[in-house]
Chain A
């Protein structure tokens, strides 16, 4: 087994600010993901990384950057926070396989004032 840790749990930002969210996993998984969840909706993929130093865009990559610093960590940056934006960002990891089971972290809740 393993766990996924996301920091911070809550993030409050100002309009136009650059904000960084961090994710760590100790599953020793190759692949990591960032998803966004809007209130009452399902998750949508922002970025994923097949292995260290790899980066792949998801459906929602505009307005975000990502960085896979090492196998166990994957960061997401909101390049310019949008006023009144509220969403939860969830990190996940899996072995590398097109249809592998993904495991999720507890999420970071973003509020932009």
Chain B
């Protein structure tokens, strides 16, 4: 398994500001994944963060809005930029480990934009 520490656990932010979410894993992993869960909805993949290269974004998500850093094999950050109330969601990071590629998740960051 993997232990993933994510912070902050929650925040309330003013519209127009930015928030950076941190994700720390207890082992080295090639890829880290960032998901968004809008209120009452399921999870949607934002992007895949690879160490040493630019993140790969899913359709509907752009780097200017969700810049990602991946400075080493155990850490990544996701920034939610120029926030609006529509960005209010839970943001989760995830890694897949082991021979079966089991995917584990951090506790999530509950973001409220006012």
Whether A and B are associated in the same complex: the answer reads no
